[in-house]
Amino acid sequence: MKLQGFGIFVNDMATMIRFYRDVLGFEIKDEENTSNVYLEKDGVLFLLYRRSDFEDMTKYHFNYASGVSGHFEIALLVDNYEMVDKTFDEVVLKGAKPILKPTTEPWGQRTCYISDPEGNLIEIGSFNKE
């Protein structure tokens, strides 16, 4: 098996599309008004599934976390420490919720965390000082 991409289940498709496209720079590959929207970032397929439509399709009711969720993270890599700080500031100005301001961890990674409008965690980090 080969990893093709991953998906998240969303309530508000329009808001989530705008966030991932306009704030994080994902490229949209589909119509915006469908049940499933395909985006791409650096060759990785990123799927947004409308929760209600997915439940209708599977005939199954799922439980979803509310607020900021610690179930998983989406990790984004930038070139260096300076870009971690710069990117954090830029995405927060565009509407991302700050969770952890940029910090350098003992293992040598400069990292920070934000969340998307529905509370999914996103890490922005780098192991390169320069």
Fold of 69-126: 2,3-Dihydroxybiphenyl 1,2-Dioxygenase; domain 1 (3.10.180)
Domain boundaries, the chain: 5-58, 69-126
Q: Do 5-58 and 69-126 show the same overall fold?
A: yes
Residue 46 CB contacts under 8 Å (≥ 6 apart), including other chains: 5, 6, 7, 20, 26, 38, 39, 40
pLDDT tens column, 15-46: 999 999 999 999 998 777 777 899 999 999 99
CATH number for region 5-58 = 3.10.180.10
Which positions of the chain have pLDDT values less than 50? none
